[in-house]
Amino acid sequence: MENSEEIKAAKEIIQAFLRARKILRLYPLNNPIFIRTLEDCFGRFQNYFHYSDDLSLKIRQNEIYCNSDLIYYNTEKEDNIALFFFKDGLREISFKKDLSIDEMVEFLKIMSMDFDRELIDDDVVTMLWEKDFQNIQYIVDESYLEEDEDYEARAITEAKEHTSEQDDLLRAYEDAFNKEEIKEISIFPLTDNDLLQLSTEFEKDLRDKSGKLADILFEMLFMPDSMVDYTEVSRFLTSTVEYAIKNGDLQTVTDVLTEVKRISNDKNIAEEIKIRMKKIVSFAGSDPMISMVGELIDSGQNIDERIFGDFVGLLDRNAIEPFMKILGEIQSIHARKIVIDALIVLGPRDIVTLARGLNDTRWFVVRNVIYIFRKIGDKRALDYLLKTIKHGDIRVRKEVIRSLGEFGGDTVLKTLRECLYGPEAQVRSAALKALGNIASEAAKRIIIDEILDKTFKDKNFDEKKEYFEVLSHWKDEDVFNLLVRILKKRMCWGRTKKYENKACAAHGLGLIGNKEALRVLNKYVTARNKLLRGFASAAAKRIEHGR
């Protein structure tokens, strides 16, 4: 088929997206219009997959490209699907040929969130990750997200610096009290902004009182022994922590714990005081306190993540189990992410306790714990992760394999090789990519052995192609010579399967990019076999253009 027809089919999918995301907001799931719209959108995908096995969309701020062709352009800020994905860091989205209608519907639901961005806390990337799509993949510019994560805090600070309403209100009160005689009083109703200011001042007053009380209690600790009951002072400090957490005042809790830690680490402080200080830290990380923290972050209130991070960093390892508990209870994706980040900080303090989460009956809890281990990167976690490789949920097994690939080392190679023979294509693919991520000589040998095995010819073409793609990560002489040898190998029988191997070898040479391969590839750009001819031509062009 001509490239123009493929691009036309891709443009039709984008137009179907635009229609579907509006319909999702107007009609219920069982409405005939809704159903017809989804069927039409899915039909557009099926039409496109006649030309290619996957649709890869490159995202720019106001454009979407398929290959190098522009298929969508919109400079408006409203109803701009390119901007919708771009501002959350997405740079590429790919749809596989095996895309199901259920996956497509869930993806469209995420797209429709653009109409309600003020009502949701989670970014597009988080929602995509939570769905764990099997046939929808994406690439995120993480550096873009990190650079922009303080934008909201900066905007709030700037807004506060420029506001003058509170100063005007105070001047009005001063002028009123300076009047010798008030002849007439005019009563104006309070505006929403007035109520917000009053509420803020009230909350600030509570925080100020809690903080001042804590300061007084700390001063009492260092009065002469005859005048101080350490037990009573520590009890009041504990009550202050509880009161502050209950009222969502994590700043005061953080201030108290900071001072407690300072006292605990001071060699000149009496041991009796240090013992009571440690109990306050333990109380802050106890089940009742962390449960209240979980309710706070799950309530949708705006949490200062810097303050929350400081709070978590001051806790002891006893807080791990309560955080594990709320990880399975909270409903908000954003809140769950905050808890995961907390456990990444706390987890290294007690790997054994964290590992208990791998025995949870809920698959998403287990997957999140594996993700936490992967981010911590502590090799002590390997023994626990290897035991979960046979978990009943495929999403958990994929996360384990991904983690093993990042941990690396010879201890994981045997397990990853066994996963190459698993019944699910997704698990086999994850294991293959993990071996490529390890990038050791032993990992390379495993992949080569599989390619040279006589059963390799029985794999489907896409899986074969992926083997050669991963093998091309090793751009050394051994791999280059192997691919050339496969490409030049004569065929006696099983010609269709052998042509697939040759096409994959040509594809691998193109990915390696060695110009010496052109002499071999150019011999096959006019091959009779269409598959081999197409891959040899594409590989040669890739090398010639230095991509």
Residue 155: predicted pLDDT: 44
- Measured between its terminal Cα atoms, the distance across the chain in Å is 24
- Rounded to the nearest 5 percent, the helix, strand and coil shares of the chain are 70, 5, 25
Residue 504: predicted pLDDT: 95
CA-based R_g, the chain, Å:
31
For residue 526, is it within any domain?
Answer: yes
For residue 235, is it within any domain?
Answer: no
Residue 118: predicted pLDDT: 45
| DSSP-based three-state secondary structure for 96 | strand
- The single-letter code of the amino acid at 490 is R
CB under 8 Å to 383, separation ≥6 — which residues? none
| Structural element, H or E, at residue 139 | strand 136-140
Q: 320 or 334: which carries more pLDDT confidence?
A: 320
Of the candidates 537, 540, 460, 530, the residue with the CA atom closest to the CA atom of residue 1: 530
Choosing from 144, 178, 201, the residue where a domain stops is 144
| DSSP-based three-state secondary structure for 418 | helix
The DSSP result for 27-93, as a single string, is S-TT-HHHHHHHHHHHHHHHHHTTT-SEEEEEE-SSEEEETTEEEEE---STT-HHHHHHTTTEEEE
Of the candidates 96, 101, 94, 152, the residue with the CA atom closest to the CA atom of residue 123: 152
175-230 pLDDT per residue, tens:
544 554 444 444 445 455 544 454 444 444 444 566 677 777 777 766 655 445 67
Residue 201: predicted pLDDT: 47
d(CA 43, CA 318) in angstroms, rounded, equals 54
For residue 169, is pLDDT > 60?
no
DSSP 247: T
Choosing from 119, 144, 169, the residue where a domain stops is 144
> Are the C-beta atoms of 412 and 403 separated by less than 8 Å?
no
For residue 172, is it within any domain?
Answer: no
Residue 226: predicted pLDDT: 44
Task: State the Cα angle at 318 between 315 and 322, rounded to 5°.
Answer: 95
Residue 405: predicted pLDDT: 94
299-329 pLDDT per residue, tens:
878 888 899 999 999 999 999 999 999 999 9
Give the pLDDT band (50/70/90) at residue 88: confident
For residue 534, is it within any domain?
Answer: yes
DSSP 176: H
d(CA 399, CA 363) in angstroms, rounded, equals 11
Q: Kindly state the tokens that stand for 70.
A: 């522009």
Q: Kindly state the tokens that stand for 110.
A: 């995420």
For the chain, how many structural domains are there in total?
Answer: 2
Q: Kindly state the tokens that stand for 306.
A: 């810097």
d(CA 521, CA 159) in angstroms, rounded, equals 62
Residue 23: predicted pLDDT: 78
| Structural element, H or E, at residue 100 | none
Strand order, beta sheet including 63-66: 69-73, 63-66, 54-59, 90-96, 136-140
Q: Kindly state the tokens that stand for 52.
A: 């290619």
| DSSP-based three-state secondary structure for 202 | helix
> Are the C-beta atoms of 412 and 382 separated by less than 8 Å?
yes
Residue 170: predicted pLDDT: 52
CB under 8 Å to 324, separation ≥6 — which residues? 343, 353, 354, 356, 357, 365, 369
Location of structure tokens 């009956």: 361
The proportion of the chain whose per-residue pLDDT surpasses 70, expressed as a percent, equals 81
Choosing from 75, 110, 144, the residue where a domain stops is 144
CB under 8 Å to 406, separation ≥6 — which residues? 374, 377, 434, 437
For residue 31, is pLDDT > 80?
no
Residue 111: predicted pLDDT: 84
Residue ranges of the alpha helices (H) in 408-476?
A: 413-419, 425-438, 441-452, 461-471
For residue 222, is it within any domain?
Answer: no
Task: State the Cα angle at 458 between 45 and 405, rounded to 5°.
Answer: 75
- Find the largest Cα–Cα distance for the chain: 112
Q: Kindly state the tokens that stand for 292.
A: 């209240």
Residue 161: predicted pLDDT: 53
d(CA 225, CA 158) in angstroms, rounded, equals 49
For residue 438, is pLDDT > 80?
yes
Residue 317: predicted pLDDT: 95
Q: Kindly state the tokens that stand for 245.
A: 């957490």
Of the candidates 469, 467, 485, the residue with the CA atom closest to the CA atom of residue 477: 485
Q: 431 or 270: which carries more pLDDT confidence?
A: 431
> Are the C-beta atoms of 17 and 111 separated by less than 8 Å?
yes
Q: 368 or 163: which carries more pLDDT confidence?
A: 368
Instruction: Domain of residue 85: give its range.
Output: 3-144
Q: What is the mean pLDDT of residues 110-139?
A: 75
Residue 320: predicted pLDDT: 97
Give the pLDDT band (50/70/90) at residue 142: low
For residue 133, is it within any domain?
Answer: yes
pTM: 0.63
7-21 pLDDT per residue, tens:
999 999 998 888 888
For residue 131, is it within any domain?
Answer: yes
For the CA atoms of 468, 469, 472, 473, the dihedral, rounded to the nearest 10 degrees, stands at: -140
Location of structure tokens 């995420």: 110
Residue 183: predicted pLDDT: 46
Chain Cα centroid distance, residue 413: 26
CB atoms within 10 A of CB 375: 16
What rounded mean pLDDT belongs to the chain? 83
For residue 500, is pLDDT > 80?
yes
For residue 403, is pLDDT > 90?
yes
Q: What are phi and psi of 76, to 5 degrees?
A: -75, 150
d(CA 255, CA 314) in angstroms, rounded, equals 10
CB under 8 Å to 174, separation ≥6 — which residues? none
CB under 8 Å to 1, separation ≥6 — which residues? 50, 51
The DSSP result for 146-172, as a single string, is HHHTTHHHHHHHHHHHH--HHHHHHHH
Q: Kindly state the tokens that stand for 85.
A: 């994905």
The proportion of the chain whose per-residue pLDDT surpasses 90, expressed as a percent, equals 52
For residue 414, is pLDDT > 90?
yes
Q: Which CATH number characterizes residue 491's domain? A: 1.25.10
Residue 182: predicted pLDDT: 44
| DSSP-based three-state secondary structure for 469 | helix
For residue 108, is it within any domain?
Answer: yes
Residue 190: predicted pLDDT: 46
Q: What is the mean pLDDT of residues 156-178?
A: 51
